[in-house]
Amino acid sequence: MARTILVTGAAGFIGAALSKRLLLQGDRVVGIDNLNDYYHPALKLARIREIEALTGDASWRFERLSLEDGDALKMLFASEAPQVVVNLAAQAGVRYSLENPLAYIQSNILGFAQVLECCRNFDIKNLIYASSSSVYGGNKNLPFNEQQPVNHPVSFYAATKKSNELMAHSYSHLYGIPSTGLRFFTVYGPWGRPDMAPMLFARAILTGKPIKVFNHGKMQRDFTYIDDIIEGVVRCIDKPATTNQEFDALNPEPATAASPHRLFNIGNSNPVNLLQFIEILEHELGRKAVKIFEPMPSGDVVSTAADTQALEKWIQFKPSVSIEDGVHHFAQWYQQFRELNDFI
């Protein structure tokens, strides 16, 4: 019998890709998204059309809904009775959190609290939720692993993501909700967010406009291809978090608990220099970028790199798509999609 899986942020980059994968493998998906204008809603609607093209039956339902609307969310849980929830909805963006921090309180804190309340009241069997590599903040011990402390966020976005981890842990402890937090590392690929470097750079290169290269190019990111992210999420859906039977309260591990709550990094584990990434993208687009070198912006970090040994042990999977292959697929999609749409 098909599972019903509720995906929040279903019109977003990761949410739409996950929804398509789940539908293709025979699950029933209930997607919700508020379709806000943080970036052009037309891209979100185009993703929804891609999902709808996969199914003409009742295996897909989409509702325009904000997580902060607790009453509407409860009605949806009651009518659809999902067994699994994947919370990908959030106010995204490190730099935007400097401009509008209250938006992050509304979506990432209040919204996630409403999701947790529904999981508690409707006996959800598995909760997967998006965290971020940003929680590692000013930590310079690379690669980041889940046993490292995350007590020094350098952006408000990161602070809300750490808050989500603490909130999920407490609900898991109090109500026994199996919860898995996934710390995503710089996700990219077709249908990506237009405020992220791949889309910003591709548009600028193709239109001959300059791109901003922060910290004078001396940055590294653990770019992780979207298909690898989705595979990891799906495997975590199939394997709910369990209690760590060896949990030692006198020497507690940060990423497991005496309750069914676990935290995992999910990244490629091969950080790429920003200038190298630009070179690969230039090659795929057949044009050179006009670069403007700028200092490091507030709230950003110099390098990220994921230690994914814990995830690999848990679900027998390690992200493996190379940066060359990933950028190739992204560039092909971007050029084809942009020919038909002028909003990216």
Alpha carbons 74 and 323: distance in angstroms, whole number: 41
DSSP-derived letter for residue 90 is: -
DSSP-derived letter for residue 189 is: S
Q: Output b/e per residue, 184-222; b: 16+ Cβ within 10 A.
A: bbbbbbbbbbbebbbbbbbebbeeeeebebbbeeebbbb
The C-alpha angle 64, 16, 40, rounded to 5 degrees, equals 65
Which positions are annotated as active-site residues? Answer: 157
Amino acid of residue 339: E
E runs forming strands in the chain: 4-8, 28-33, 60-64, 84-87, 126-132, 179-184, 187-188, 210-214, 220-221, 224-225, 261-266, 272-273, 290-294
Alpha carbons 174 and 192: distance in angstroms, whole number: 36
Alpha carbons 4 and 132: distance in angstroms, whole number: 26
Q: How many residues does the chain have?
A: 344
Amino acid of residue 48: I
Amino acid of residue 344: I
